[in-house]
Chain A
């Protein structure tokens, strides 16, 4: 084999094993799921491919409320994360000084504890007479029947909590990349601090915000752990429905139709979003 040919083949050889894995266990399953969503039958008699579009129609008629609710919860938690996360990212990037990495480390610490365990820990903390609300009720600051658990606020709060570090990190990376000379230039041109922030820092941080949204909106919208641990009645998200349909009711066609709808909704949005920004860029920020 000539050296040139070998060089030309090397990347394919490198990609092959992992690529096959992704093809078989990521791409193919998606197609299988699409096919399953068009099948009809029952668990006893088996399912067969019949172009059964009804699963989509039924799924959307029965569960459009949950789909809309998931998007609303996902968006709300994302907005909360931006509002909370931006000042943090900003402060660490510009004022963190030598201890920047310590702050980042602290922000990442929650990931060393299981996601399920953290959420359950919140359920424990937010209990009606628990460690947080109990004392406040005791001194009369809160009415006796006040509660956080089993409300939409608890679910949105839980989502914001669980994914916040994914929002802060890309924003931090973007802010950290801002060349101080640009800021100096702005100030030399008599921009006030506020103007510098608004006209220079904010626009330059946007790619980070976009990447953060990408990293948090999808998991938040499709989550079901927070809704089942922290939610109550009328807080069911589409993730709960899918998990229920797959693992409990075993209505595979409806379940796959719903997951496919969810995926299409999220993935199409994201691809458009990533296209507009350039895939490479977003991936790079995400990688940091």
Chain B
């Protein structure tokens, strides 16, 4: 990677300024709706309908948790995302480790299933889960949401971890074993620290996928409301500024984690 990066001095290919401007325009296009979302969290509206700009205010930040339902929906979303992160993180990492490290009968099938789970249309997964829950008469709610989120996150975690495992040097583990470390000790002291960046990346991906999911959740939620579901419901009567702020805070949190992560990586590298 670094070798290729350094080869930047080669003769320029097609494109130049025009492409650069185009790229920035595309980035602007991608970020425009987010900018609007952030901006309207500062809108000094009188009522709960946040549609026209009426001046700058911070008052909504003070009233962030005034809508009990919305707060609870956000808490639900965060709880489910955390649980999904942990459960899918562990289960997915184990699969990723197995696929990246071992050759065994059945790895093909596992790959096919995971690929299908990644490629499958969300609405089909949601619909089929609802079919299952309805047939078994399972009460829909928090736990069915969690189950479905873990289901669609596992494959993403596994693929991420597998990619990391495949780049690892096996000789380190062999060295550990030669030095008399047992299987568990080797795993804990050598393997885990080496694959940990992959596990972390995969788990964070699972968190992000979970907190954003609308389509599958809509099928498996029953009466339980998550953040995206609440937003969807509130479009009927107007989205209150609190939604913009919560969106802004989640966004800011994500940016913060990404930046810290990048800085730490730079320090390590």
A and B touch in the complex (CB under 8 A): yes
Residues of A within 8 A of B (CB): 6, 8, 10-12, 14-15, 17-19, 21-23, 25-30, 32-33, 36, 84-85, 87-88, 90-92, 94-95, 97-98, 101, 103, 105-107, 109-118, 120-122, 124-125, 131, 161, 164-165, 176, 179-181, 183-184, 187, 193-194, 196-197, 201, 214, 218-219, 221-225, 229, 239, 242-243, 246-247, 252, 255-256, 259-260, 262-263, 266-267, 270, 274, 279-280, 282-284, 286-288
Instruction: Assess the B27–A115 pair: CB atoms within 8 A.
Output: no
With contacts A91-B15, A124-B36, A179-B4 taken as known, whether A283 is within 8 angstroms of B111 at the C-beta atoms is yes
Q: Total interface residues on B, using CB and 8 Å?
A: 96
Q: Which of B31, B154, B211, B262 contacts A110 (CB 8 A)?
A: B31
Of B62-70, B101-109, B168-176, the segment with at least 4 beta carbons within 8 Å of chain A is B101-109
**Are A259 and B128 in contact, CB atoms less than 8 angstroms apart?**
yes
Residue of A nearest to B156 (CB): A287
Q: How far is the CA of A274 from the CA of B114 in the complex (A)?
A: 13
A18 touches B247 (CB 8 A): no
Complex formed: what's the CA distance from A122 to B32 in Å? Answer: 9
* Known contacts A92-B23, A193-B13, A112 near B218 by CB under 8 Å: no
Closest residue to B97 on the A side, CB-wise? A14
Identify the closest chain A residue to B158 (Cβ): A18
Task: Give A187 to B13 CA distance when docked, in angstroms.
Answer: 10
**B31 interface neighbour in A87, A109, A279, A280, Cβ under 8 Å:** A109
Q: Does B258 contact A (CB under 8 A)?
A: yes
| Residue contact A18 to B11, C-beta cutoff 8 Å | no
The distance in angstroms between the C-alpha atoms of A87 and B250, with both chains bound, is 30
10 residue pairs A–B, Cβ–Cβ below 8 Å: A14-B98, A33-B132, A88-B22, A90-B15, A113-B33, A116-B231, A243-B123, A267-B116, A283-B114, A283-B118
Q: Which residue of A lies closest to B4 (CB)?
A: A180
Whether B148 and A25, one on each chain, are in contact in the complex, defined by CB atoms closer than 8 angstroms, is yes
Contact A111 B231 (CB under 8 A): no
Closest to B29 in A: A161
